Amino acid sequence: MSVIEKELKIETKNDFIVEAKNLKKYFPIKGGVLKRTVGHVKAVDDITLSIIRGETLGVVGESGSGKSTLGRVILRLMEPTEGQILFENEDISRLSNRQLRPFRKDMQIVFQDPFASLNPKMNVQELIEEPLLVQTSLNKNERREKAISLLEKVGLRPDSRLKYPHEFSGGQRQRISIARALALNPKFIICDEPVSALDVSIQAQVLNLMADLQDEFNLTYLFIAHDLSVVKHISDRVAVMYLGRIAEIAPKKNLYETPLHPYTEALLSAVPSTDVLNKREKIILKGDLPSPSNPPSGCAFRTRCPKAHERCALERPELINVSEGHYVACHLYEQ
């Protein structure tokens, strides 16, 4: 099948915690009086990717590129339209909610908006205890002990555990979300733009906290962001998404130093640089992100690509391996 799948077979010695195979999530567009499906928004369009145990895989892309949807589909918070999701080699893409429950212990999510991701009617202790109450058989005292130790872990005063979310700042709330996600000792956490709603100074604190926790609990992160410098700070590998597809995926160093895909190049050139002498030329992309309900034929990026040629309109580029772990979906790099 696709090139990457052949690659996967060779790389099976790698210990993958999560694998997505040909994952698709299409949202139907209903129209007309009869509410018939007139089209699809292809939020996630045939994505294959593997996450290695212990790593942080950063996912970047502009808004509307489908990165949040990808995260939610992997966690089965949304039903995939097609494709497989493997968690520790078990296919979870077709499990019922009941069958999923034991897996939920091992995979968690931290959301973007710290003002919407905590139930305003529960106090901090209830919020952190909820996963323990639902998933474990700990008694009341044990749960409270655990909640207190989690609060200390994320740098909040246990004294404030009876306060409510509205009494905390954005950064503190995000710490509460992290404590809640950690409560069940998960192996894999999806961070859905966890710092983009925070002040820059707070961003660094929260990112460092997440990095420390990763070391301490041996966590694997899928880190979704639109900020390239944030992703650079925390990731081991980075995937660039465009219109529901992966444009390029590579170890952080390769991607930031030798970007291959024209889209990645353009993105990186837009990052403000502090290096005055060595200024990169900015590549300004023309136009807007095309509508995901009607993506361009062939390569989705061709409408804005400075290097596009005829073939790009005809054939959809597959991800190809250009160097160790560096994959790019672009016809320019095919032999």
Partner 1 sequence: MELKPQETTSTGPELNKNTVEKGMSPHRIALKRFMKNKLAVASVVILLIIIIAVLCAPLFTDHNPTKSNLTMIERSPSAEHPLGNDSSGRDNLARLLYGGRISLIVGFSAMVFTLVIGVTLGSIAGYYGGKVDAIIMRATDLMLMLPFLVLCLTVVAILEKVTVGILVMIIAFTSWPNLTRIIRGTFLTLREQEFILGAKAIGVSDIRIIFKHFIPNAIGPIVVNATLMMATYIIVESALSFIGFGIPQPTPSWGNMISEAQSIRILRNSPEAWIPPGLAILMTVLCINFIGDGLRDAFDPKSNRR
Interacting residues with partner 1 (CB under 8 A) = 72, 75, 77, 97, 100-101, 104-105, 107-109, 111-113, 116-124, 130-131, 134-135, 158-164, 166-167, 177, 180, 184
Token pair for 283: 């590549």
Residue (of 154, 189, 145, 192) closest to 172 by Cα position? 154
In the complex, minimum distance from the CB of residue 9 to partner 1, in angstroms, rounded to a whole number: 31
DSSP, residue by residue, 190-245: EEESTTTTS-HHHHHHHHHHHHHHHHHHT-EEEEEES-HHHHHHH-SEEEEEETTE
CB of 241 to partner 1, least distance (A): 20
How far apart, in whole angstroms, are the C-alpha atoms of residue 329 and residue 262?
A: 10
CB-nearer residue toward partner 1: 111 or 256: 111
**Is the Cβ of residue 9 or residue 121 nearer to partner 1 in the bound state?**
121
Rounded to whole angstroms, how far apart are CA atoms 47 and 78? Answer: 15
Q: Which is nearer to partner 1, 48 or 108 (CB)?
A: 108
Query: Cα angle at 167 between 163 and 168, to 5 degrees?
Result: 100
Output the smallest distance, CB 268 to partner 1, in A: 30
- Minimum distance between the CB of residue 220 and partner 1, rounded to whole angstroms? 16
Nearer to partner 1, 76 or 261 (CB): 76
Q: Least distance in Å: CB of 71 to partner 1? A: 10
In the complex with partner 1, the residue whose CB is nearer, 35 or 279, is: 35
Find the helix packing angle between 124-135 and 140-153, rounded to 10°: 120
Please, is 159 exposed, middle or buried when counting C-beta atoms within 10 Å of its C-beta (0-12, 13-18, 19+)? Answer: exposed
Q: In angstroms, give the least distance from the CB of 240 to partner 1.
A: 25
Nearer to partner 1, 67 or 72 (CB): 72
